[in-house]
Amino acid sequence: MMKSYKSRDDGYTVIELMVSLAVFSVLAIISATAMLTIFSGIRQVAAQSNELAQAQNTAEWVSRLVRYADMPLGTSAPIVLAGPDSIVLYSYSGTGERSDIPYKIRVMTIDQIDGTRDVISDVAPGVLIDGEWQWSGDWNALDAPEGAVRRFLLSTPIESDKPLKIDVFACQVDGDCNATMRNVTPPSTGPLLLDENEVPQYVEVTLGATSDPLNSVRQQVRLVNQL
């Protein structure tokens, strides 16, 4: 007696098709979710890398502005004003058209109406009048002072950390400088809080996500004309 076998040529049953479709859908969802997670991570890493690169470029520029702080004729201090996120100083930085004259420099943050917070620098050449270097314009206003070239250095969302942190350190020049080194940055923008015989030695500049060491750039800028 011959045995009979059921042929698969009759096709799949409805239940088999539904099970296959369900398995395929689950796999598709898992794959799509994994791909979205991967692409989101790549975008986030790329954005952080770009922000760090911008912060590094800004740090190099600010370091160049600050490093050669000095007292040109007619001035009484190399650093005019400082605060947690701003600094105004005189410098022979050579960052303008001429390298043989002093410049007045301001670095600070500005909140914009588009929801961003920018780090800017204003650089203005001095004018020698009756043996004294002078600068015009209002250096306390948010607008660029008269004669200054404004440069936009770094931009971050206004709800994030302030992208600039300034700390000025000074020491007693008639004693052990290392032992007397201290932070003399005012709590709000104003003149440095210096004691007698104290001289600024370096400025610590932090840029980027200033409260996160992994996503910020910190540079200690020695004031070479004050050593």
Q: Largest alpha-carbon pair distance within the chain?
A: 127
Q: What is the pLDDT of residues 16-35, one digit of tens each?
A: 777 778 777 787 788 777 77
- Residue 45 has what pLDDT? 52
The answer for residues whose C-beta is within 8 angstroms of residue 146's C-beta and 6 or more apart is 124, 136, 137
Residue 78 has pLDDT above 90, yes or no: yes
- Which one has a higher pLDDT value, 198 or 50? 198
Q: Tell if the pTM clears 0.75, that is, is over it.
A: yes
> Residue 226: is it exposed, middle or buried by C-beta count within 10 angstroms (0-12/13-18/19+)?
middle
